[in-house]
Amino acid sequence: MSAPTLRRRRLGQKLRGLREERALTLEDVADKSEGKMTVAKLSRLELAKSAAKADDVDMLLTLYGAVDDELRVALLNLTREGGQRGWWHSYRGVLSPVYEELISLESEASDVWMWQAGTIPGLLQTGDYAREFIRTTAMSEGFEAKVDALVEVRLARQAVLTRDAPLSLWAIISEGALRSNIKGDGVMRDQLSRLLAMSKRPNVNIQVMPSDVPPHVGQMGSFTLLGFEEHADLDVVHTESLTSALYVEDRAQVAVYREGFGRLRATALGVETSIERIEEIRDQQ
């Protein structure tokens, strides 16, 4: 099963909304479609578990009736766009479906709020830091052969911060991550200089979580909250562990993470003080 993109999720939610507005069940639609749409297929489309075809969407819109031309055109365009391949598709041999989904979501998000307890966020890493971190955290045989490609991907992801209408990033990083003993002459110093340089961009805010703060919600683990501006109901949280990654899409649960991030912002050093702390740590390297 391919990973759902934001476009497919939006389309699925809209199709489900149109069906429910007409008080139709999945079985009702399957019966009315005269064999063109099964319950299982429609369920997969609404849940973004499979890509929609324009003919199927057009048929559903006709079946639902009272859909204006503007909405029909918009949904059909969304259907066609949902099948477009991103630049990361050429790395499919080395990327997991979950990682592909993260890159896809980053490419379409308007905002990212990130808490990192043990490492520098991938969107802010230098190539040398990324290489060392990817290499040392590899937990599968044959992974060494993929390191170069994964570094390329990590650096390519960062284009979302400098594109036209750039992604807005708010990153909170633990002080421990800033003091990591990364091998390589000057690697950590260069990485901290990278943070300082990126912090000057109007779309990037960085806070440092001091090592001596009292217990806080971030000690439950790192997470990334991806926001989609006018489509807040599609906001999603990404978490990962040593062996797996998880996407949280339930609105109530996403709201808990949003509140947690707010608490972290209040606990961490202010933005200006954080920059001073990063400079201090860098100058100690």
Task: Let me know if 247 is exposed, middle or buried by CB neighbors in 10 A (0-12, 13-18, 19+).
Answer: middle
- Percent of all residues in the chain with a pLDDT value above 90, rounded to a whole number: 59
Q: What is the DSSP string of 4-69?
A: PPHHHHHHHHHHHHHHHHTT--HHHHHHHTTTSS-HHHHHHHHTTSSPPPHHHHHHHHHHH----H
Tell whether 124 and 265 lie within a shared domain: yes
* pLDDT score of 88 more than 90: no
CA distance linking residue 274 with residue 52, whole number of Å: 46
Query: What local confidence, expressed as pLDDT, does residue 11 receive?
Result: 87
Q: End of a domain among 39, 63, 82?
A: 82
Is 203 strand, coil or helix?
A: coil
Tell whether 49 and 96 lie within a shared domain: no
Provide the CB-side half-sphere exposure for 226 (13 A, CA).
Answer: 21
Whether 272 is covered by a domain: the verdict is: yes
Count of structural domains, the chain: 2
R_g over Cα of the chain:
22
Provide the CATH number for the domain around residue 253.
3.30.870
Please write the tens of the pLDDT for every residue from 186-223. 999 999 999 999 999 999 999 999 999 999 999 999 99
Tell whether 102 and 212 lie within a shared domain: yes
Average pLDDT of the residues in 255-262: 97
Tell whether 161 and 278 lie within a shared domain: yes
Tell whether 156 and 248 lie within a shared domain: yes
* pLDDT score of 144 more than 90: no
Tell whether 189 and 264 lie within a shared domain: yes
Closest CA to 152 of 173, 125, 170: 125
CA distance linking residue 152 with residue 273, whole number of Å: 32
Tell whether 157 and 177 lie within a shared domain: yes
Tell whether 70 and 193 lie within a shared domain: no
Average pLDDT of the residues in 31-56: 90
Tell whether 78 and 98 lie within a shared domain: no
Whether 263 is covered by a domain: the verdict is: yes
Phi and psi torsions of 85, nearest 5°: -95, 140
Measured in residues, the chain has a length of 285
Domain span at 141: 90-283
Tell whether 54 and 191 lie within a shared domain: no
